[in-house]
């Protein structure tokens, strides 16, 4: 209920500030992206709700800044690094406790003395650059429905989630990713549209 009230308050503030065209533009853009995806509006809303709930709980456990959460059709991908197995387990437990979660893929790494710099600004920037390159290259391919793919990079490992039209399209996406020299590995959790 608090979320709904907060959302309505935000809409009211934007409307009062004279930015109604911004609000309408955002709504139209969101509707366009959702209509282009091969998942329903309801599934998109459900996934977004799961992400918000998990992130809220991670914030309560002081894990929010260490872990990225991606959700696709109730399948949760956790990536990042923490300094103990207890924190890794806590993050996974938080994900499983959320309504609508069908699967949790825990790819959170435990920091050791050898890899303690996993969250340095340079590493974050490098991973972000890899992700941006991949998204740009996928977007340019006419035979790939880029809106169906979620791309995340941690430690040079690229994690893919989403819905592929067929194996040819998925192979094309993986080929694009492997062409980027900074990529160490590709892990795919993509499903096919007919499954």
- The CATH number covering residue 141 comes to 3.30.1340
Q: What is the pLDDT of residue 36?
A: 53
- Do 97 and 57 lie in one domain? The reply is yes
Range of the domain at 16: 1-36
- Confidence grade of residue 23 (pLDDT, cut at 50, 70, 90): very low
Please tell me whether the overall predicted TM-score, pTM, comes out greater than 0.75 for this model: no
Q: Total domain count for the chain? A: 3
H helical segments located in 61-120: 85-96
Q: What is the pLDDT of residue 10?
A: 52
Q: What is the pLDDT of residues 87-145, one digit of tens each?
A: 999 999 999 999 999 999 999 998 876 655 456 788 889 999 999 999 999 999 999 99
């Amino acid at each position: 209920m608090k979320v709904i009230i907060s959302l309505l308050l935000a809409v009211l503030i934007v409307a009062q500030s004279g930015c109604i065209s911004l609000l309408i533009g955002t709504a139209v853009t969101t509707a366009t992206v959702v209509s282009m995806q091969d998942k329903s509006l309801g599934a998109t809303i459900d996934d977004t709700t799961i992400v918000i709930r998990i992130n809220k709980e991670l914030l309560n456990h002081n894990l929010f800044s260490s872990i990225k959460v991606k959700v696709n059709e109730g399948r949760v991908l956790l990536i990042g690094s923490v300094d103990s197995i207890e924190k890794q387990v806590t993050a996974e437990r938080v994900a499983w406790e959320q309504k609508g979660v069908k699967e949790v893929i825990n790819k959170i790494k435990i920091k050791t003395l050898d890899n303690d710099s996993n969250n340095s600004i340079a590493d974050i920037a490098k991973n972000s650059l890899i992700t941006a390159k991949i998204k740009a290259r996928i977007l340019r391919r006419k035979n790939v429905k880029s809106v169906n793919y979620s791309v995340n990079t941690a430690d040079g490992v690229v994690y893919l989630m989403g819905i592929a039209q067929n194996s040819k399209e998925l192979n094309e996406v993986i080929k694009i990713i492997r062409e980027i020299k900074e990529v160490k590995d590709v892990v795919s959790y993509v499903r096919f549209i007919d499954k």
